[in-house]
Amino acid sequence: MSKPIVTLATCADFPHLDEDDQALPDALASRGMDPRIAVWNDPDVNWDEAGIVVLRSVRDYAKKRNYSHFLEWTKAVPRLLNHADVVRWGSDKHYLQNLSEFGVPTIPTTWLEPSAGYSKHQVHTRFPAYGDFVVKPAISSGGRGTGRYTAIDAKSRAEAINDTMHHLGRGRSVMVQRYLDQVDHKGELSLVYFNGVLSHAVEKAAMLHPSFRSVDELHEEIVTAREPSEQEWLWGEKVRKALHRQIKSQSGRDMQLLFNRVDVVADGEGGFYLMEVSLIDAGLYLTSTDGALENFADAIEQRVFW
């Protein structure tokens, strides 16, 4: 009897998966599966014969030349996890507006749309008048194109204007958010779920230092595994429930998510802001937490043998 095939989808920059995922094929093989690795836009791959396809290191999906092709590819893959409808919605950070409507606190954001045809002066007037702020495209992967700037520094503000105009000129929606000092003091917390169950959590050190400039490269993360507090766990559940309410309202039915990462930051008043929900190429910190790799392999096994 042949073993069920599980194909881990990656990109050409990570043909053997990224470092965090490289032990996953062996973990799947030990559970009776036939793991394979394939680049998502490789024309020689027959996705009809790929079994269950698990999105992993598809870090180039958000590039303008790839984005539409990637979304079309997800719809053409017969058995994709996460589902193509979830991928489409989760690929654009406008989803934060949707989740806010379901009661999830999000960082106050000014949204700049390319269709508005902003001038440099109009962009300038939409930046905060004081403090540090962040500019990032609504469609991005791994923090590409994200920059931190200082409102009262003329050079920094000019760089922010130029970077914003760069994104808008390429048809990208842009998010402008005040930088939260809590990120420097406490970092971010990532809660990782497999098949709807919390697997583990990590604390991430601040990446956007005051001199940070927007670049189109992946940002290196410094993470530390830790147990979430009861409050953090409950907050993560609030986000997860809102996420499933959104999925159901969008598609007419709920969908089980193979993996889901929720990134939160303290709001300075005893609560949290949602920073991001990762449903596509989420770093799952499998090598940062004891048992995380096994939990993910078990979750995939459950989906294969259901």
Any idea what DSSP says for residue 78?
S
Radius of gyration of the chain (CA): 20
Task: Provide the pLDDT for residue 185.
Answer: 65
Segment 268-297, tens digit of pLDDT: 888 899 999 999 999 999 999 999 999 999
Residue 291: CB atoms within 10 A of its CB come to: 12
The CATH number given to 5-90 is: 3.40.50
Task: Provide the pLDDT for residue 139.
Answer: 94
Any idea what DSSP says for residue 201?
E
Q: Give the closest residue to 11 by CA, choosing from 61, 82, 62, 63.
A: 61
What residues does each domain of the chain span? 5-90, 109-178, 181-290
Q: Give the closest residue to 145 by CA, choosing from 162, 168, 163.
A: 163
Q: Do 5-90 and 109-178 agree at the fold level? A: no
Two tokens at 71? 């979304």
Task: Provide the pLDDT for residue 194.
Answer: 98
Measured distance CA(59)–CA(63) in Å, rounded? 9
Whether the CB-CB separation of 173 and 94 falls below 8 Å is answered with: yes
Q: Give the closest residue to 200 by CA, choosing from 103, 105, 121, 298.
A: 298
Topology of the domain covering 181-290: D-amino Acid Aminotransferase; Chain A, domain 1 (3.30.470)
* 69: Cβ contacts below 8 Å, ≥ 6 apart: 41
Residues of the chain with pLDDT under 70: 1, 184-185, 206-220
Task: Provide the pLDDT for residue 141.
Answer: 84
Q: Give the closest residue to 185 by CA, choosing from 159, 206, 163, 157.
A: 206
Task: Provide the pLDDT for residue 212.
Answer: 45
* 251: Cβ contacts below 8 Å, ≥ 6 apart: 85
**Across-strand partners of 192?**
200, 261
Segment 236-256, tens digit of pLDDT: 999 999 999 999 998 888 899
Q: Name the average pLDDT for the chain.
A: 91
Two tokens at 91? 């690929």
Any idea what DSSP says for residue 219?
P
Measured distance CA(7)–CA(34) in Å, rounded? 8
Q: Give the closest residue to 283 by CA, choosing from 214, 205, 197, 223.
A: 223
Measured distance CA(298)–CA(116) in Å, rounded? 47
Q: Looking at the chain, list the stretches that DSSP marks H as alpha helix, in order from N- to C-terminal side.
A: 24-29, 64-76, 84-90, 95-101, 120-125, 154-169, 181-186, 230-251, 292-305
Whether the CB-CB separation of 172 and 158 falls below 8 Å is answered with: no
**Candidate CATH numbers 3.40.50.1000, 3.40.50.720, 3.40.190.290, 3.30.1490.20; the one for domain 109-178:** 3.30.1490.20
